[in-house]
A and B are shown apart, each in its own frame.
Chain A
Amino acid sequence: MVALIIRRILQGIPVILGVMTISFLLMNVAPGDPVRAMVGDYYDDATVESLREELGLNELLGVQYIHFISNVCRGDLGKSFMTQRLVVDDLKQKVPFTLQLALGAMLIAVPFGILLGVFAAINRGKLIDRILIVISLAGVSAPVFWIALLLILIVGIHLQWLPPTGFGGIKFLILPAIALGTRSMAMLARTSRAYMLDVLKEDYIRTALAKGLSQRVVLFKHGLRNVLIPLITIVAADFGSYLSGAVLTESIFGWPGVGRFALNAIMKRDFPVIQGTVLFMALIFVVINIIVDIFYAWADPRVREKMIYE
């Protein structure tokens, strides 16, 4: 298992390097000018030129790239062009908020999504199944911003149960977590229903029922366990994308996470911040993939054997 983890980590390095290189090239060939965003409308050319020199923007692209990579290897993501703050410091402040939101969304999506899926599967063809199919379809289709605005209007303004936006405690987390997690919840409900229907046809389920085990034990011990493995991929992909920033949810709820940080940097061509956040996002995905692989290997002996002999 340790060898498997080490191999997966080593495989992640070229992925991260590739992502960093592509983002660096894209940012530098894309039109736009960070200095223009820094100085505002009223500036003199001498200031602009000295800033360009100071920021190293007059150097050849190759030289800039080598500086960038060597700095990253030393753990230095540089300073934001706009704010002059260290990118690492800003990321340290924003990552906990992003983590809170992503975990909150998952906490809503995973249990509710899977339970609804299982419930629909065991009631296949009945009215409740049809209702749940329609609701889950709406959940998958409804845009995040629409759900977010509805929640703010209904729960925040009309009912005044929770603060409409903001952050600073669990009360503030509920609405953005629901807005962000609804799509995952609906997706998980639909997928787990489909998998559960397949599993319920398996011989071992019939055998378990024939042995006289209660339907509840059969469903949750034998059925759900087998359904969980394929669902992990969906959960991991969604969790990864939430951790790399949920721009719409963060903007609407005034949540100070990584997504808004990255978006603002892109708009202002703040290269160090863009590269820092891209690196963070790449790391998140690599780490999550490693965790998923480990989980697969742990949960399914066939997968473990295959990975070891790869």
Chain B
Amino acid sequence: MGMSFKIFIIFIISLLVNGCGIKPNPTQLNLYFPGDPKSLDPALATDVRTGQLCALLYDNLVRFGRGAELLPGLAKKWEISPDGLKYTFQLRDSVLFQDGKNFECIDIKKSFERILHPKTNSHRKWLFKKVSGSSEFSSGSVESVTGFRCEDENNFLIELNQAFTPFLGFLAMASASIIHETKTGEIIGTGPWKLKEWIHDGHILFNRNLNYFDDVPKLESLKIRILPEALPRTAEFVAGYLDIMEVPESEFSIWANDFEWAPHIQYQDDLNIFYLGLNCSRPPFDNVLVRQAVNYAIDVQRIIDKVKNGNATAASGPIPPGLIEPYPKIKYGFDPQRARKLLADSGYEDGLEIELWQSQSSQLLYVTEAIQAQLEAVGIHVKIVRNDWNLYSKAVSEGVPDMYYRSWYADYPHAENFLAPLFESEVSQRRWTRYSHNDLDSFIHKIQFTVDGQKLQNYIHQANSILIHDVPWVYLWHTRTAHISQPNLKGWSPSLMFNAEKYTGITKEW
């Protein structure tokens, strides 16, 4: 017994000693995701993480740059006909898929038709809804989409049945990745990183693709760890096993006030809107005066300063800065007196009771409790209802909550993405606030079809003005994310769009 116990202790000590001095791999980029991605299949890319993976493995005809701009991808350049119906893409030469196959024009047609094919069961068919012949193909009545054509080996044409200004942005989305499917059903791309190993809920490991047509990654490998909890992520970052980390909101002041780390924090204004949706189909929020009162009653800037550590910009409307020029001034400043008067004018001088729904996260509770307290001060008694995301989302789409706290992130960098999917009467009535406005619908349609930049901004402002007057939401803020990177990491800065980053130019200095 005595001897075996000694051996056991020696074994434990040797493990600990061997553990000492574990060094991070200097040729590997170490990142993390807070959860496992859904898939590597672009057809299933509805979540941010799958979109980010697709950017590593595949390429698109066009891709997002650091900001809202579109850059050449597998297409060297492109032309759009004056009527906005025809998009002609001139393709790059000598591009290889990761299995050595040559990239050809027909691969684009096959990739896009795969999304529309009924058997693929893609959730992103709407990307190509406006392409000529797409609905006939989706329904199985024709074998090819007439609007996808290889004009010759180097030119691919997309023909729309009606002009749609944001369409080029659609082609940079993950589901518009160009792939080829092998006979065994494997999906192969041309991207800068090759998948080596995926331990689900564990990590995803990539090796660089030395045949990449653009900048070959400078680091040899890339590892994405799946780390759902914030503190272990911080631990991994501090110990040097993660190279880039999004600074957790609750830890922001610690990092920002640390003179060693603060210079390594980089900020990115996000293309999003955080808001309180107001159910316009029934009292009290069917009355525009009550909606305006709520907007006056909430001190958005105070919540940004106290809860968000200043990492957000107060919103004047649904469209984030950069997509509407110039950004409109805030109409509803914090004015509780005015809020009380508007409530009294609407017949609620004795106050009212409402339910505010949010998803389960306790982080969100810091915001909703602040809102609850501010609304209480003007006589609006708020009951906070928390549910898991699935249940919460279902309740919102069924119009159950009086008020709900949500956010919307851009799928593509265009103002239309903050209008049509949220406020167009048909969608809003069915899924969101039940708000509808004919003039707004008309402006949204004009925004979708207008090619001229000046006219487009004019329509965006007119649509925005209607929404600022009618306030179907309380416009809260557009966030700013703080990212921190290891001091030895060079060549990285955050991007506006989540699937813009290919991590090719990053190096590590030792």
* Residue positions of A touching B, CB distance < 8 A: 31-34, 36-47, 50-51, 54, 82-85, 90, 93-94, 97, 111, 149, 152-153, 156-157, 160-167, 170-171, 174, 220, 250-257, 260-261, 264, 267-269
Contacts and interface: CB of A to CB of B under 8 A. Distances in A.
Given A37-B390, A42-B126, A51-B121, A163 B232 contact: no
Interface stretch (B12-20, B56-64, B334-342, B475-483): B12-20
A163 B390 contact: no
Contacts of B18: 171
Interface in B193-237: 199-203, 225-229, 231-232, 235-236
Interface of B: 1, 8, 15-16, 18-22, 35-36, 38-39, 41, 44, 46-47, 118, 121, 123, 125-126, 129, 199-203, 225-229, 231-232, 235-236, 238-239, 241, 388-391, 393-394, 397, 408, 411, 421, 430
Given A32-B391, A256-B200, A269-B390, A164 B229 contact: no
Contact of B227 (A171, A220, A254): A254
Given A40-B46, A254-B202, A261-B201, A157 B239 contact: yes
A268 B388 CA distance: 9
B235 A153 contact: yes
A38 B46 contact: yes
A263 B421 CA distance: 30
Contact of B232 (A160, A165, A268): A165
A157 B22 CA distance: 12
A250 B202 CA distance: 10
B232 A254 contact: yes
Contacts of B393: 33, 36-37
A280 B510 CA distance: 47
- The residue in A34, A84, A254 that gathers the most chain B C-beta atoms within 10 A of its C-beta is A254
B121 A50 contact: yes
A225 B15 CA distance: 31
30 contacts: A33-B393, A36-B393, A36-B397, A38-B46, A42-B411, A43-B126, A47-B123, A47-B125, A51-B123, A84-B41, A90-B200, A97-B202, A152-B235, A156-B235, A157-B235, A160-B21, A163-B19, A163-B239, A164-B236, A165-B227, A166-B241, A171-B19, A174-B19, A252-B232, A254-B202, A254-B225, A256-B202, A261-B200, A264-B35, A269-B390
A252 B390 CA distance: 23
A58 B228 CA distance: 33
B497 to A, nearest CB: 15
Nearest to A268: B390
Nearest to B227: A254
Nearest to B240: A160
Nearest to B397: A36
A134 to B, nearest CB: 24
Nearest to B118: A50
Given A38-B46, A171-B18, A163 B241 contact: yes
A83 B236 contact: no
Nearest to B35: A264
A299 B202 CA distance: 40
B21 to A, nearest CB: 8
B226 A165 contact: no
Nearest to A261: B201
Contacts of B390: 32-34, 36-37, 267-269
B200 A93 contact: yes
A171 B123 contact: no
B498 to A, nearest CB: 13
Nearest to A164: B235
B39 A256 contact: no
Contacts of A41: 408, 421
Contacts of A84: 39, 41, 44
Contacts of B203: 166
B34 to A, nearest CB: 10
- The residue in A41, A84, A267 that gathers the most chain B C-beta atoms within 10 A of its C-beta is A41
Contacts of B200: 90, 93-94, 256, 261
Contacts of A171: 15, 18-19, 22
Contacts of A261: 200-201
A220 B229 CA distance: 44
Contact of A164 (B1, B39, B201, B241): B241
B199 A256 contact: yes
A51 to B, nearest CB: 7
B47 to A, nearest CB: 6
A298 B411 CA distance: 64
Nearest to A156: B235
A38 to B, nearest CB: 6
